[in-house]
């Protein structure tokens, strides 16, 4: 646990996506999750995404929620962090640099014409 705390201290607001990706790679090893297969991580990502959806739903006054279990869902920020951590660990498993693929995708997106409310 101390090693993880020291690793966390290496991150700050100026840390890059690459820094965070490297941090998560090291933490996954320290936590003993290196033997998880990509498909296992993908199922975990879906689970964490569901928890994020539930955390968002519980903030909506019109949503029907089982209030006996409402404390089972953390706050939205924690669930977003969980989704991000699992997504980055999938990238690491597949040797994908998240920064590079993000930039490449956005280069394509800026050329697209987006339709919003039926208008271009």
- Domain borders along the chain are 37-111
Helix (H) or strand (E) holding 44: helix 38-57
d(CA 93, CA 21): 11
The owner of tokens 């928890």 is: 51
pLDDT of residue 61: 73
Report whether CATH 3.30.70.2740 matches the domain 37-111. Answer: no
d(CA 105, CA 103): 5
- Give 83's contacts (C-beta < 8 A, 6+ positions apart): 45, 48, 49, 52
The pTM assigned to this predicted structure is 0.83
pLDDT by position in tens, the chain (length 120): 899 999 999 999 999 999 999 999 999 999 999 999 999 999 999 999 999 998 898 888 776 666 665 566 668 999 999 999 999 999 999 999 999 999 999 999 999 888 888 776
């Amino acid at each position: 646990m101390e090693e993880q705390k020291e690793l966390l201290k290496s991150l700050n607001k100026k840390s890059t996506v690459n820094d965070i990706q490297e941090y998560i790679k090291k933490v996954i090893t320290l936590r003993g999750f290196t033997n998880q297969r990509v498909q296992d991580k993908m199922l975990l990502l879906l689970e964490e995404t569901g928890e994020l959806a539930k955390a968002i739903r519980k903030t909506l006054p019109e949503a029907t929620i089982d209030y006996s279990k409402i404390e089972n869902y953390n706050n939205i920020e924690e669930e977003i962090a969980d989704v991000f951590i699992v997504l980055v660990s999938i990238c690491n498993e597949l040797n994908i640099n998240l920064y590079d693929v993000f930039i490449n995708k956005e280069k394509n997106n800026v050329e697209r014409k987006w339709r919003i409310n039926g208008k271009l």
